Amino acid sequence: MARELTIKVLRYDPQQKSNGSVKAYFQEYKIKETDSMTIYLALTQIRETLDAGLSFDFVCRAGICGSCAMMINGRPKLACRTLTKDLPNEIILLPLPTFNLIKDLSVNTGVWMDAMSKRVESWIHSSKEIDIANIEEPVEPEVADAVFELDRCIECGCCVAGCGTKLIKEDFVGAVGLNRVARFECDPHDERTIDDYYELVGDDNGIFGCMTLLGCEDSCPKHLPLQSKIAYMRRKLATVKGS
């Protein structure tokens, strides 16, 4: 017999004002669980049958784009990859913290991620003139694998939402930013030195601010080796500080 799920969603609509202020509230929905139901499918059913005004983000529905990240029973997860069968009868959904709230479960991760990318200068730094007509300079397979491993980040924001340091340090770059630095540090196409990376993230809002609480790695839906890479970069940058 199918379970009846009670889904409580934090509702917030900046267009609806009460006495000049915007109020957030929880709204409760009851639906029947179906086979292989995900939180995304549950929300879609709610929007199609109960509340067309419910707002949440999605694109790929396959754990690739990261758009549907939200707090599910207190943990940052992807709605499209979280099965309701793994959750209790009552499910509480909130938007990701840290990011600007748009409406209900929709947040603006793009502005934050764009600022982070500019802050860590997330692009190849090379003095060579690029000729797109030529084949890119080859690298060893193991090096390419190391770069690709870190490049799998989908910028969903789960690691940022699960980070204890980020909650107390607004300017902390987060695991997603430090992972980006580690990605370019191991890319032979990038000519930056360890001193250059120290100038970018060698402070308390960067690599030395991480408290190693493992919230980022525990929350990452792509299971990236965030803590080992942060520890690796911290050791390398510490040699610069001590020299």
pLDDT at residue number 130: 80
> pTM of this prediction?
0.91
Pairing of strands 90-94, 106-108: unpaired
Q: Identify whether the C-beta of residue 159 lies closer than 8 Å to the C-beta of residue 226.
A: yes
* pLDDT confidence of residue 129: 84
Predicted pLDDT of residue 242: 57
User: How far is it, in rounded angstroms, from Cα 226 to Cα 233?
Assistant: 11
- Name the CATH code of domain 120-127+137-242 (choices 1.10.1040.10, 1.10.1060.10, 1.20.1050.10, 3.40.630.30): 1.10.1060.10
Is the Cβ–Cβ distance between 73 and 108 less than 8 Å?
Answer: no
Q: DSSP label at 84?
A: G
Output the tens digit of pLDDT for each of the chain's 243 residues. Answer: 789 999 999 999 887 765 567 788 999 999 999 999 999 999 999 999 999 999 999 999 899 999 999 999 999 999 999 999 999 999 999 999 999 999 999 999 999 999 999 999 999 999 988 888 888 888 999 999 999 999 999 999 999 999 999 989 999 999 999 999 999 999 999 999 999 999 999 999 999 999 999 999 999 999 999 999 999 999 999 988 655
Task: Tell me if 66 sits within 8 A of 156, measured CB to CB.
Answer: yes
Name the amino acid, one letter, at 107: V
Q: Where are the domains of the chain?
A: 4-107, 120-127+137-242
Q: What is the pLDDT of residue 140?
A: 94
Reading the block at residue 52, the tokens are 């067309």
Q: Which CATH architecture has domain 4-107?
A: Roll (3.10)
In this prediction, residue 20 carries a pLDDT of 63
Per-residue pLDDT of 183-210, as tens digits, reads 999 999 999 999 999 999 999 999 999 9
